[in-house]
């Protein structure tokens, strides 16, 4: 600062002037162009995606519906007359699949609002909030036969961070399942990259008769997502041993 309190610009060149904000503006333009290009690629990918087109034809809200259909084709999870919980229900594609498969009682929960699905009782809330969970389970007449979770944190672009955040949600889903599933029930959850963490796999093998990973064809080849499927729940006593 000079004695008069005003900043003097120093350095070579007598005509040097303070930054007028142009550089900031240029950065904003570059960021906007990058975002626009990314959005353009996403739109092009969506338009070319056969699953997106098929979802529109079949009346599903999202292409993710086919992930569950393909998982079910391999694992035989969905059966008429079941009681099912769908964690992370938005936008409702998995709920639609369950209804069409003849599920008897169906409930779901999501932090986001879900447009009503006929045949499903959905709560906008948090699975970490006991009151929200109670409100959701009020839609079932007994313990669920199947707990589904397609929960995933918003991606950051950093693979390790995204993996850890999604792994934490998978752990939450597993905790919910072991607290609420009927004996003999099943569990299916999204996981990332190499699959369930070693700790989660150990917990699953201690609580279920069979555990495996499935990468449904509807899951894009470039996506790190996998689904862990566990069947034959051994009961709550196995969770405390």
Interacting residues of 219 by C-beta distance below 8 A, sequence separation 6+:
67, 225, 226, 227
Quote the pLDDT of residue 207: 97
Give pLDDT, residue 37: 55
Report the pLDDT value the prediction gives residue 238, as an integer from 0 to 100: 66
pLDDT at 11: 44
Torsion of CA 115, 163, 55, 75, to 10 degrees: -100
Q: What is the pLDDT of residues 9-40, one digit of tens each?
A: 344 444 444 444 545 444 444 444 444 554 55
- Model confidence pLDDT, tens digit, residues 96-119: 999 999 999 999 999 999 999 999
What CATH number is given for 61-239 in this structure? Answer: 3.40.50.150
Residue pointed to by tokens 């709550």: 236
How far is the CA of 7 from the CAs of 4, 10, 14, 15, 18, in angstroms?
9, 9, 15, 15, 10
Residues in the chain with pLDDT < 50? Answer: 1-20, 22, 24-35, 38, 42, 44
> Which entry of 14, 28, 104, 190 is annotated as an active-site residue?
190
pLDDT at 177: 98
Domain boundaries, the chain: 61-239
Q: What is the pLDDT of residue 156?
A: 66
Catalytic annotation present for 190: yes
Q: Which long-range contacts (CB under 8 A, 24 or more apart) does 36-43 make?
A: none
């Amino acid at each position: 600062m000079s004695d008069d309190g005003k900043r003097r610009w120093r350095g070579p060149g007598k005509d040097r002037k303070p930054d007028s904000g142009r550089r900031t503006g240029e950065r904003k333009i570059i960021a906007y162009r990058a975002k626009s290009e990314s959005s353009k690629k996403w739109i092009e990918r969506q338009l070319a995606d056969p699953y997106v087109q098929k979802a529109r034809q079949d009346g599903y809200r999202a292409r993710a519906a086919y992930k569950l259909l393909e998982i079910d084709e391999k694992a035989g999870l969905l059966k008429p007359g079941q009681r099912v919980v769908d964690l992370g229900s938005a936008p409702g594609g998995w709920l639609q699949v369950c209804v069409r498969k003849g599920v008897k009682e169906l409930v779901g929960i999501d932090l986001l609002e879900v447009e009503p699905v006929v045949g499903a009782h959905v709560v906008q809330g948090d699975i970490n909030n006991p009151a929200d969970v109670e409100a959701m389970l009020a839609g079932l007449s007994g313990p669920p036969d199947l707990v589904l979770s397609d929960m995933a944190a918003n991606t950051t672009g950093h693979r390790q961070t995204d993996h850890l955040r999604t792994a934490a949600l998978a752990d939450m889903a597993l905790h919910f399942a072991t607290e609420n599933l009927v004996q003999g029930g099943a569990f299916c959850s999204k996981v990332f990259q190499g699959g369930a963490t070693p700790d989660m796999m150990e917990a699953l093998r201690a609580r279920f008769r069979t555990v495996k990973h499935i990468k449904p064809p509807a899951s894009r080849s470039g996506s790190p997502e996998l689904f862990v499927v566990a069947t034959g729940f051994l009961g709550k006593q196995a969770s405390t041993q």
